[in-house]
Amino acid sequence: MAQQDDVFKKIVSHAKEYGFVFQSSEIYDGLSAVYDYGQNGVELKNNIKRYWWDAMTLLNENIVGIDSAIFMHPTIWKASGHVDAFNDPLIDNRDSKKRYRADVLIEEELAKMDDKVEKEVAKARKRFGDNFDEALFRETNPRVQEIIEKRNALHERFATALNDSNLEELRQIIIDQEIVCPISGTKNWTDVRQFNLMFKTEMGSTAEGAMNVYLRPETAQGIFVNYLNVQKTGRMRLPFGIAQIGKAFRNEIVARQFIFRMREFEQMEMQFFVRPGEELNWFAKWKETRLKWHKALGLGDHKYRYHDHDKLAHYANAATDIEFEMPFGFKEVEGIHSRTNFDLSQHEKYSGKNIKYFDPELNESYVPYVIETSIGVDHMFLSVLCSSYEEQKLEGGDTRVVLHLPAPLAPVKCAVMPLVRKDGLPEKAREIVNSLKFDFSTHYEEKDSIGKRYRRQDAIGTPYCITVDHQTLEDNTVTLRERDSMEQKRVAIDDLHKLIHENVSLNALLRKLG
């Protein structure tokens, strides 16, 4: 774990050093859990958003996009249940004065038990070698059985407490499990209290009677309240979806793990409206479709897993997370929820407007059911960054840091470099930049030795470097260097566009999704 912590620290400083992510308001000592994206970060983030947007709106003719405002009528948040129920259970340690989410402390305890099981399995695998029957070992080993039993009992107790919103029981679990504060090391805990996560502000001057409004904690409600507008103006027929990318704000209790727990973050959400009774089939379909979208990036299939929710939100009848293996464990990157007709029904009730859909095939009207796919852009960004980062030992004792970013997501697609800054090579290199820049984000680099320039591009994940030398002036060929293999080959300038396009275009990635 300590080693993983080290790697994560290195990734965080790499993100800063190479212009991916900066602490917000850094020259004023920063603002907790708020971050800015730098010159390379914004490109990577935009590419992630483009991949999601195109996968939703280009590949599905029944999905359209919108961009709703962050400010919305405050009654929306009453109707959605956020004013009354968008809470986290918090607990303080009296000695360190640190605040924690009670549910997260218990989840971490469960994860520790899972780790113990995996360690036992790994030890046995080593001991028994090729003859190891893992399934049998898991089922029969007394030590493993004991841990699993304890884990399941804790899990059940925890799920019941969450479902009943039983705050005393949550505290009791923390006491009984002897969970200590990681800072003070003590068990001196306060009671567990509910804390609403929405930011409130005022709209209009006080003279005219200001109105309390909220910064939206999710983008989904902007879609629900526009459901009728889109359905009618787009003449949409069920099933159909509405996609949106935008900022969301949550006053998170504990800020930690870099951009994983932010107070201002970005979501990509899609609400898919279906006939009542068909929602669980669609839920299963979207679970599969979304995992395929993730896996197409090639970050490693084993790094993903589903995690079904123990506690269903007040609106849901099924919910799953797609989790990704970050250096600090498996964490949620996306939630897929079957939200029933809760939201639309609530908006019908609170607004007094009819939000029913007339189904011409069934010849009846009803409030549609909804499947939601909700992914955090920043979580996605972090998963891509962490799994791409590598410190590589090279032949001859040299080392390099390389980001193996999926090529279509890389901030810079190719860098063009004149070998020397004279003899007409810079001019030739500029010519190449000018021919490629309309299709690919292309950098011109002439400072430092060629080796250093390659390293700089490796560190930001540029898939291709193109080197212009004296031979180029004679035969119009250049050296094309590939980031991961570091292979160099001589290619004609005329072929560059095609060679680069094959690997860096989003198109190729989207085609994998069919």
Task: Choose between 25 and 476: whose C-beta lies nearer to ligand ATP.
Answer: 25
Task: Name the strand (E) or helix (H) holding 126.
Answer: helix 102-128
When binding is defined by CB under 6 A, the residue of 378, 445, 458, 469 that contacts ligand ATP is: 378
The three-class DSSP label of residue 374 is strand
Would you say how long the chain is, in residues? 514
Cβ-based burial of 67 (10 A; exposed 0-12, middle 13-18, buried ≥19): exposed
Task: Choose between 34 and 154: whose C-beta lies nearer to ligand ATP.
Answer: 34
Q: Residue with the closest Cβ to ligand ATP?
A: 376
Q: Read off the tokens for 27.
A: 């020259």
Position 107 contacts ligand ATP (CB under 6 A): no
Position 334 contacts ligand ATP (CB under 6 A): yes
Separation CA 219–CA 49 (nearest Å): 15
Task: Choose between 34 and 117: whose C-beta lies nearer to ligand ATP.
Answer: 34
When binding is defined by CB under 6 A, the residue of 77, 265, 272, 357 that contacts ligand ATP is: 265
| φ, ψ dihedrals at 465, nearest 5° | -120, 140
Task: Choose between 325 and 332: whose C-beta lies nearer to ligand ATP.
Answer: 332
> How many residues bind ligand ATP, per CB under 6 A?
16
Task: Choose between 376 and 463: whose C-beta lies nearer to ligand ATP.
Answer: 376
Position 261 contacts ligand ATP (CB under 6 A): yes
Separation CA 50–CA 53 (nearest Å): 5
Do the beta carbons of residue 265 and residue 252 sit within 8 Å? no
Do the beta carbons of residue 418 and residue 426 sit within 8 Å? yes
Report in angstroms how near the CB of residue 261 gets to ligand ATP at its nearest.
5
Task: Choose between 246 and 461: whose C-beta lies nearer to ligand ATP.
Answer: 246
Report in angstroms how near the CB of residue 42 gets to ligand ATP at its nearest.
17
- For the stretch 155-182, what's the b/e string if a residue is b when 16 or more beta carbons lie within 10 angstroms of its beta carbon? bebbeebbeeeebebbbebbeebebebe
CA 247, distance to chain mean position in Å, is 13
Q: Read off the tokens for 495.
A: 């072929």
Task: Choose between 30 and 424: whose C-beta lies nearer to ligand ATP.
Answer: 30
Of the ranges 239-247, 259-267, 278-286, 449-457, which one interacts with ligand ATP (CB under 6 A)? Answer: 259-267
Cβ neighbors of 222 (< 8 A, separation 6 or more) are: 66, 68, 69, 72, 216, 244, 246
**Interface mask (CB under 6 A) for ligand ATP, residues 223-252, using x and -?**
---------------------------x-x
The three-class DSSP label of residue 477 is strand
Separation CA 111–CA 408 (nearest Å): 34
When binding is defined by CB under 6 A, the residue of 38, 222, 241, 376 that contacts ligand ATP is: 376
Round the CA-based radius of gyration of the chain to a whole number and report it: 26
When binding is defined by CB under 6 A, the residue of 40, 374, 457, 467 that contacts ligand ATP is: 374
Of the ranges 10-18, 349-357, 375-383, 444-452, which one interacts with ligand ATP (CB under 6 A)? Answer: 375-383
Amino acid present at 56: M
Report in angstroms how near the CB of residue 70 gets to ligand ATP at its nearest.
15
For residues 266-325, which are near ligand ATP according to CB under 6 A?
267
When binding is defined by CB under 6 A, the residue of 379, 413, 453, 481 that contacts ligand ATP is: 379
Q: How far is CA 38 from CA 20, 23, 221, 379, 490, in A?
A: 5, 10, 30, 17, 34
Do the beta carbons of residue 43 and residue 411 sit within 8 Å? yes
| DSSP for 446-468, written as a single string | -SS-HHHHHHHHHHHT-SEEEEE
Task: Choose between 250 and 294: whose C-beta lies nearer to ligand ATP.
Answer: 250
For residues 52-71, which are near ligand ATP according to CB under 6 A?
none
Of the ranges 6-14, 230-238, 257-265, 388-396, which one interacts with ligand ATP (CB under 6 A)? Answer: 257-265
Which residues of this chain interact with ligand ATP, rule CB under 6 A? 218, 250, 252, 261-262, 265, 267, 332-335, 374-376, 378-379
